[in-house]
A = this chain, B = another copy of it.
Amino acid sequence: MDSKFVYSFEEGNAKMRELLGGKGSNLAEMTNMGLPVPSGFTITTEACKEYYKNNQQLSPNIILQIEDYIQKLELSSNKKFGDSDNPLLVSVRSGARASMPGMMDTILNLGLNDRVANGLIKKTKNKRFVLDSYRRFIQMFSDVVMNIPNKNFEIIIQEIKQLKNIKLDTELNVTDLENIINKFKQHYKEQKGVDFPSSPQEQLIEAIKAVFRSWNNPRAIYYRQLNDIPSDWGTAVNIQMMVFGNMGDTSGTGVAFTRNASTGENKPFGEFLMNAQGEDVVAGIRTPKPIDNLKQIMPNIYDEFVSISKKLENHYKDMQDMEFTIEEGKLYILQTRNGKRTPSAALKIACDMVDEGKISKKEALLMIDPRSLNSLLHPQFDIKILEKLTPIASGLPASPGAASGKIVFNANDAIEEAKKGEKIILVRSETSPEDIEGMNLSEGILTMQGGITSHAAVVARGIGKCCVSGCSKIQINEKQNYMKIEDKTYNKGDSISLDGSTGKVYGEAIPTVKATISDNFKTIMDWADEYSNLQVRANADTPSDAKQAISFGAKGIGLCRTEHMFFETNRIRAIRQMILSKTEDQRKKALDKLLPMQQKDFEEIYEVLAGKPVTIRLLDPPLHEFIPTDEAEQENLAVDINVPIEKIKSTISSLHEFNPMMGHRGCRLAITYPEIAIMQTTAIINAAINTLKKHSNWNLTPEIMIPLVGDIHELQYIKSIVVKTADSLISSAKTNLKYKVGTMIEIPRAAITADEIAKDAEFFSFGTNDLTQMTFGFSRDDAGKFLKSYYKKDIYAQDPFEKLDKHGVGKLIKIACKLGKKTRPNIKLGICGEHGGDPSSIEFFNEIGLDYVSCSPYRVPLARLATAQATIKLEKTI
Verify if A228 is at the interface (C-beta below 8 Å from B).
no
Verify if A875 is at the interface (C-beta below 8 Å from B).
no
Copies per assembly: 2
CB A744 to nearest CB in B, in angstroms, measures 11
Q: Are B672 and A786 in contact (CB under 8 A)?
A: yes
Q: Are B796 and A664 in contact (CB under 8 A)?
A: no
A671 contacts which of B708, B710, B795 (Cβ < 8 Å)?
A: B795
Verify if A230 is at the interface (C-beta below 8 Å from B).
no
Smallest Cβ-Cβ distance to A654: which chain B residue: B785
Q: Are A662 and B793 in contact (CB under 8 A)?
A: no
CB A654 to nearest CB in B, in angstroms, measures 8
Given A714-B795, A774-B748; A789-B659 close (CB under 8 Å): no
B residues less than 8 Å from A782 (CB atoms): 657-660, 662-664
Q: Are A672 and B789 in contact (CB under 8 A)?
A: yes
Within 8 A of B (CB), among A730-786: 746-749, 752-753, 770, 773-779, 781-783, 785-786
B residues less than 8 Å from A793 (CB atoms): 671, 717
Q: Are A662 and B752 in contact (CB under 8 A)?
A: no
Stretch at the interface among A24-32, A519-527, A610-618, A803-811: A803-811
Task: Report the bound CA distance from A710 to B772 in whole Å.
Answer: 11
B residues less than 8 Å from A663 (CB atoms): 778-779, 782-783, 785
Q: Are A777 and B662 in contact (CB under 8 A)?
A: yes
Q: Are B710 and A659 in contact (CB under 8 A)?
A: no
Q: Are B713 and A749 in contact (CB under 8 A)?
A: no
Given A713-B795, A782-B662; A749-B777 close (CB under 8 Å): yes
Smallest Cβ-Cβ distance to A809: which chain B residue: B749
B residues less than 8 Å from A717 (CB atoms): 793, 795
Q: Are A671 and B812 in contact (CB under 8 A)?
A: no
Verify if A661 is at the interface (C-beta below 8 Å from B).
yes
Q: Are A770 and B777 in contact (CB under 8 A)?
A: yes
B residues less than 8 Å from A710 (CB atoms): 775-778, 808
Verify if A698 is at the interface (C-beta below 8 Å from B).
no
Interface of A is mostly: helix
Interface string of A706-718 (1 = CB under 8 A from B): 0010110110010
Q: Are A776 and B749 in contact (CB under 8 A)?
A: yes
Verify if A668 is at the interface (C-beta below 8 Å from B).
yes
Verify if A223 is at the interface (C-beta below 8 Å from B).
no
Given A789-B671, A793-B671; A662-B664 close (CB under 8 Å): no
Smallest Cβ-Cβ distance to A714: which chain B residue: B795
Task: Report the bound CA distance from A657 to B812 in whole Å.
Answer: 27
Smallest Cβ-Cβ distance to A812: which chain B residue: B752
Task: Report the bound CA distance from A811 to B749 in whole Å.
Answer: 9
Q: Are A796 and B713 in contact (CB under 8 A)?
A: yes
B residues less than 8 Å from A781 (CB atoms): 657-659
Task: Report the bound CA distance from A708 to B809 in whole Å.
Answer: 16
Of residues A776, A811, A812, which shows the largest number of chain B Cβ atoms within 10 Å of its Cβ? A776
B residues less than 8 Å from A815 (CB atoms): 752
Verify if A790 is at the interface (C-beta below 8 Å from B).
yes
Smallest Cβ-Cβ distance to A808: which chain B residue: B749
Verify if A292 is at the interface (C-beta below 8 Å from B).
no
Verify if A794 is at the interface (C-beta below 8 Å from B).
yes
B residues less than 8 Å from A807 (CB atoms): 753
CB A668 to nearest CB in B, in angstroms, measures 5
B residues less than 8 Å from A662 (CB atoms): 659, 661-662, 773, 777-779, 782-783
Task: Report the bound CA distance from A657 to B809 in whole Å.
Answer: 24
Of residues A753, A778, A805, which shows the largest number of chain B Cβ atoms within 10 Å of its Cβ? A778
B residues less than 8 Å from A796 (CB atoms): 711, 713
CB A191 to nearest CB in B, in angstroms, measures 26
Interface residues on chain A, size class:
35 or more
Smallest Cβ-Cβ distance to A718: which chain B residue: B795
Q: Are A753 and B811 in contact (CB under 8 A)?
A: yes
CB A673 to nearest CB in B, in angstroms, measures 9
Task: Report the bound CA distance from A786 to B782 in whole Å.
Answer: 24
Given A748-B748, A752-B812; A664-B786 close (CB under 8 Å): yes
B residues less than 8 Å from A749 (CB atoms): 775-777, 805, 808-809
Q: Are A790 and B671 in contact (CB under 8 A)?
A: yes
Q: Are B671 and A711 in contact (CB under 8 A)?
A: no
Task: Report the bound CA distance from A786 to B777 in whole Å.
Answer: 21
Q: Are B671 and A779 in contact (CB under 8 A)?
A: no
Q: Are B777 and A659 in contact (CB under 8 A)?
A: no
Q: Are B659 and A661 in contact (CB under 8 A)?
A: yes
B residues less than 8 Å from A809 (CB atoms): 749
Given A671-B789, A777-B770; A748-B812 close (CB under 8 Å): yes
CB A169 to nearest CB in B, in angstroms, measures 40
CB A614 to nearest CB in B, in angstroms, measures 26
Smallest Cβ-Cβ distance to A785: which chain B residue: B664
Task: Report the bound CA distance from A356 to B753 in whole Å.
Answer: 49
CB A646 to nearest CB in B, in angstroms, measures 14
Smallest Cβ-Cβ distance to A749: which chain B residue: B808
Given A713-B796, A752-B811; A660-B661 close (CB under 8 Å): no
CB A717 to nearest CB in B, in angstroms, measures 6
CB A557 to nearest CB in B, in angstroms, measures 25
B residues less than 8 Å from A657 (CB atoms): 779, 781-782
Task: Report the bound CA distance from A794 to B720 in whole Å.
Answer: 14
Within 8 A of B (CB), among A779-829: 779, 781-783, 785-786, 789-790, 793-796, 805, 807-809, 811-812, 815
A660 contacts which of B659, B668, B672, B805 (Cβ < 8 Å)?
A: B659
A795 contacts which of B711, B752, B777, B783 (Cβ < 8 Å)?
A: B711
Smallest Cβ-Cβ distance to A671: which chain B residue: B789
B residues less than 8 Å from A811 (CB atoms): 752-753
Smallest Cβ-Cβ distance to A716: which chain B residue: B795
B residues less than 8 Å from A783 (CB atoms): 662-663
B residues less than 8 Å from A708 (CB atoms): 777
CB A204 to nearest CB in B, in angstroms, measures 32
Given A713-B794, A782-B662; A748-B775 close (CB under 8 Å): yes
Interface string of A644-663 (1 = CB under 8 A from B): 00000000000001111111
B residues less than 8 Å from A714 (CB atoms): 795
Interface string of A576-615 (1 = CB under 8 A from B): 0000000000000000000000000000000000000000
CB A365 to nearest CB in B, in angstroms, measures 34
B residues less than 8 Å from A671 (CB atoms): 786, 789-790, 793, 795
A747 contacts which of B664, B753, B776, B790 (Cβ < 8 Å)?
A: B776
Of residues A777, A794, A805, which shows the largest number of chain B Cβ atoms within 10 Å of its Cβ? A777
Q: Are B658 and A658 in contact (CB under 8 A)?
A: no
- Nearest 10 CB-CB pairs, A to B? A662-B779, A663-B782, A749-B808, A747-B777, A659-B779, A748-B748, A659-B659, A658-B781, A713-B795, A659-B661
**Residue contacts A-B, CB under 8 angstroms, 15 given:** A657-B782, A659-B661, A659-B782, A662-B662, A662-B773, A663-B778, A671-B786, A671-B793, A708-B777, A710-B775, A711-B808, A714-B795, A747-B775, A747-B777, A752-B808
Extra contacts besides A662-B779, A748-B775 (10): CB < 8 Å = A657-B781, A660-B782, A662-B662, A663-B778, A671-B786, A671-B790, A713-B796, A717-B793, A774-B775, A774-B777
Measured CB to CB, the residues of A under 8 A from B are: 657-664, 668, 671-672, 708, 710-711, 713-714, 717, 746-749, 752-753, 770, 773-779, 781-783, 785-786, 789-790, 793-796, 805, 807-809, 811-812, 815
